[in-house]
Structure 1
Amino acid sequence: MRPFTVEVGFFDTVLEIKEKVQKYRGIPISRQTLIFNNMVLQDEQDVGTCELLQDSKVQIIISQEPEKSNLLRLEEGPPIKRIELLFHMEHSSIPMSLEVDVGDTIGKLKERIQSIKSIPVNRLVLSFLGNELNNRSTIHECGLHHQSHIEVSIRASPPAAASTASGSNAGSKKLKLLVLPRCGTKKIPVEVNASDNVGELRKQLPILQEKLRFSLPSDGYFFIHKQSVMDDERSFRWHHVNQGDTIEIFNGWVTRGS
C-alpha cells in the first residue's frame, strides 16, 4: 500500500483516526493496527498523548479478514512473560544476553547491568531503535520483544560537586577584591584565598604598588571592610568578605586590648 495522509486534530483519539482511515480508504476499523515509534497506539489515546506531530509517519498494519466459512475458535493462552534481550556495550563486539521479565522496568534492567558490569546506574543509557528508554517504563511498554537489540552507552562522570564553606577544598576558593587606598580614588584589584589571613593582603600590596604606582601610608595602616576594622590574624572568610567586595586602607595602627 502506498503512503497516504490523514488530517487529524490535536485532541482526536486513535479510534477517531481509524474511523477516518475507514471512511477515506475503506479499511475496517477492526482490521487496523496503528504503530508509531515501535509502539502500538491504543484506541483511547489521543494525538497529543501519542506525541504525533506534523508529518509524523504512522505505520498501519491491516489484518487479514477471516473467511466466514472456516472460522476457528481460538483460546487465548498465557502471555509470554520472559524474553531474551541482547545488549551491545560500548567497545565490545559481542552482545551481552539477559533473560528478563516483560513487566520489569528499564530502571531494574539497569540495576542488573550494574551488578554484572559494575557501571553506576545513573551513567547507563539504554536505547532501542535510536530512542532512549525511560527508567520508569516497562519492557513491554517500550515495545521490546524476544531478542531485541539494545544499545548501551555510558555517560561521562558528573563533575564533582562544588565544595561548601565547611568542605576540605573550601580554603582554595579564590576571591577577587578591590582595595581602596585612603589617599586616592583608584581601586586596586587583588586576588586572595578565602582562607587566607588578612595579613596576606598586607604582603601583596608592596608588590602591587611597584607595578600599579599607587601610594600606601608610610606611617602604618590598617584595613576596613564594611565599616569594620579587620584583624590581620583572621581570615577573609571570618570577616565575611565576599566576591567583589571593597577593602579600604586607613592610616594608623590598631592596638589590641590586654
Structure 2
Amino acid sequence: MKRRATMDGPQEQPAASYKIHVKMLKTVTLDVNCTDTVDQIKSKFSTIEGIDKSMQELFFAGIHLKNHGKVADYNIMPNSSVELYVTDRMQISVDIPSDVPSDGKTIRLNMKKSNKVVDVKAEIEQKEGIPINRQMLIYEGRHLENNHMLSQCGLTNDPALLLLVRPTDNLHVFVNVGDKRFVSLTVKCWHTVAIVKSMIDSLEGLPAWNQILMQPRSGVDVVLKDSKTLQAQGVKNNDILILQQKVQHMRNNQTVQVFIRLWEGKTVTMFLNLSDRVEEVMKKIEEKLLIKEGIYYLCYQGHHLSSFDTLQKHGVKRHSTITIRLRLRDPNPVKPRPGN
C-alpha cells in the first residue's frame, strides 16, 4: 500500500473502495474497503438480504472468515468471490441475578435455533457450574420448558433470558385445613400461592377465592400473598401452612364448613348456611358433584333429612358430616366430578 510522506512523517492514503462478490443461491455484490472487518461485511449483507449476522458464515478460498478479521488479512482482492453459508446459529444473553445487585452478571452463548432449552442449560452448567436441575430460564415472563427447541420459544434476535437458580425444585408442604386435619402437597418452589390454593381447591373442594394461607413465623401467622412464589416468601421443604376460610368470620349468615360423605366413601368439603333448607343444599351438591336429581337422599347422625327443614333444625353444626345415601331404584348414579 502506498504511503505519502509529509513533514510529520508517513501518512496512509485513503483506502480505495472496490467490489467483491458474495455467493449463495444468487450473487450479491458489496462495496467494501480493505480495512473492513468480516463482521462489517455481514452487516452490509444483512442490510440488503435481511439475513441476520448470527446466521452468516463466510468462506474464502476454503478458509473460514472470522468476524474480527479484515478483508486485507485474508488477501481478498477486487472482484473476489466469497461464499456464504446460512446457519441457524444465534447468540443468547443470559442474565444471572444475585442477592447483591453488584454481583449479578450476564453471559453470552452461541447456540443454534435447533438446540433445545436444556442444551442452553447445559452450556450454563459448563460455564458457571450451576446444575441443570437447579436452573429455570425465563423469557419475557414465560418459563421455557426443557424439551422445547429455541425456534419454538418465540425468541427475537439476540434475546435476553433470565436465569433463576432454585435450591430445590420439589417441596413437600403440609396444610392445616382445620379440625386437626392436614393435607400433604408436593409443589414446586416457584409455584405461586395462588397455584397452591388451586391445588387445595381440587383436592378438598375448598374454593380458592375463599382461602387464606398463612405461615407461622416467630409465633405470628403471616399471610402469604397470592401473586408471589413460595420461594420468594420463604416457604421451605416440610413447612406447615395454616389455612383459614374467609367465610368463617362472617357470623351474620352463619356459614359453616360441612363435610359431605359420598356413597363411595370419599369426603368433600362444602360451605353451607345453617339457615339453608335441605332441598337447597341438595341443589348445591348436584351442581358441584354432577349427581342426578332424585336418586339420593341425605342423612345426618343416622336420620333422614327432610327436604323442607333447615340444616339448623336438624342440628347440623360446623364440621358436621352429612352422608349421601342412594335410592335403590338407581344403582348407577353419575360419578362425582374428578378432583371433587
TM category, shorter: 0.3 to 0.5
- Asked which structure has the greater RCO (Cα within 8 Å, sep 6+), the reply is 1
Q: Quick check: which one's strand share is greater?
A: 2
Q: TM-score by structure 2 length?
A: 0.35
